[in-house]
Structure 1
């Protein structure tokens, strides 16, 4: 991975493409080039990467990547002020666009990070995920996205909902990230086929039939290829929206606490018998820049921010109108290495859509 990427090439690509994509808030060519001589002697050998938002350069992951020889080239777009459910980004040149459908949003809040990877500007970018903010833009931009187990890596989020994450062209890029950010990380090769259950809606979401069909088709290909085998019993949860809002607000009344507890019990029981859960990442396809209306794009992701489970988005295919769709892989808490191993096997059947 480090051999085919260089800082100068990344900076040139950003200069060419970012006025159209608006993935970056700022780019630091002089600073990046100044880091190169020292970085080239370290394990990452000057691998260019992007950081999420204006504060990303000060984050734990960015500091660890720099210490390993990574070179940050700039900070990526996040939603502008006044945003509620418009998962989008606002870069230095304007509104961030989806590289597959410029009339659609790339998702958010790690919007620019996903676009920068999808457009081939950088091989990986940092993100954070408090409700789906890595997985949603990964799904909608056709790249790999990982939300780590809550608490595995430091997070400034006092609610405990947000977890560090990464967006990359493939699971191998996410492994590069974890290998240098997480002390003691060791890859785990899965024993296949792995028992897995598929749910199109987790028992409560209203999933777009075409989105569900794309993911269902991807799951069938994985079964046919011997990557997964269908598990008996599914996974049905209670809609976590009320509990998520309560935890985010810092005041959790008894009904919401019980809802969260019940979902935790159901997930504990599920993962005690089945190592992998498969769902669509979002119930909807990328929406227009005006927003998704009443649809919660987070419906299928934020349950795992509440529960703390690691979850990844792998490209599953496209809807008929050219929108990428993501397959969500969820594993038991602390099984991040196993999850990445499975994701690599999944990608061998469902190849990444970016280089």
Structure 2
């Protein structure tokens, strides 16, 4: 029973181990080897470490850790990754594995954080002398079991009526709509460029946070989507109103779900039209009719529009574990005196 730690730059050497463990954990696309490899290559700092726990020849846990401050380590967590990179074979608490990992991480590691945990992938453990959790965000999903017609008829009257009116108006104006689905590796570079164009023209462009084809974000999405597409697990929606690209979704598949990673739309069409919602109706129908999936996952913070599409909401969380119980008590005391932002989990 032992932990092994190597530079994450050697991930390719240990990729089969990650893939084998990933296959036992439900196969979330967000924890797939090609998602992680693209994130390390394009978004990593070079300080990340790959670690795994092995018992009787069986890999039970794998993770990628990054320094988060003096005495603190946390799961590698670029903003483009919806969940922290922690794979665990069993569905129990990760707490039994953490003391050993703290003891082999460089420096005097005192606190370890597993960030942005999905309780569907890693059930939320009870607080203990060494471990505590805190809420991160609420996120939404759509279960596909009832079939599209039953699902759509259960949506609010205002949503269905509003989109029906928009489609009727477009039809009266002779303006056709078209949903295009991109699946091949050769289509992904152009898809990311088009997506970046939509974001750059909107508020994210003004804020400087838009995806660009030539920046680290753009390189990540291109590399990741191309890798997923090579195994038939990428799904990019492009929605046209007339000849105009009006909205896009970047999605990946796996583990029984389609994850909508990013959505952008032509904001100049706002007001009379809701291009992202028009696309969402048709894209949802397409995913329902595909028949291979159990749910659609959004993973972003729940917004008002999510609540028009689903009432399935769950709370994601952060987990902090401490080398000594006294540290956990001192941290809890400090947090009560000055509450920290939810997103700061492991860096507290």
TM bracket (short chain): under 0.3
Task: Give the number of the structure whose alpha-carbon radius of gyration is greater.
Answer: 2
TM-score, length of structure 1 as denominator length: 0.25
The structure richer in strand per residue is 2
User: Which one has more relative contact order, counting CA pairs under 8 Å at least 6 apart?
Assistant: 2
The structure richer in helix per residue is 2
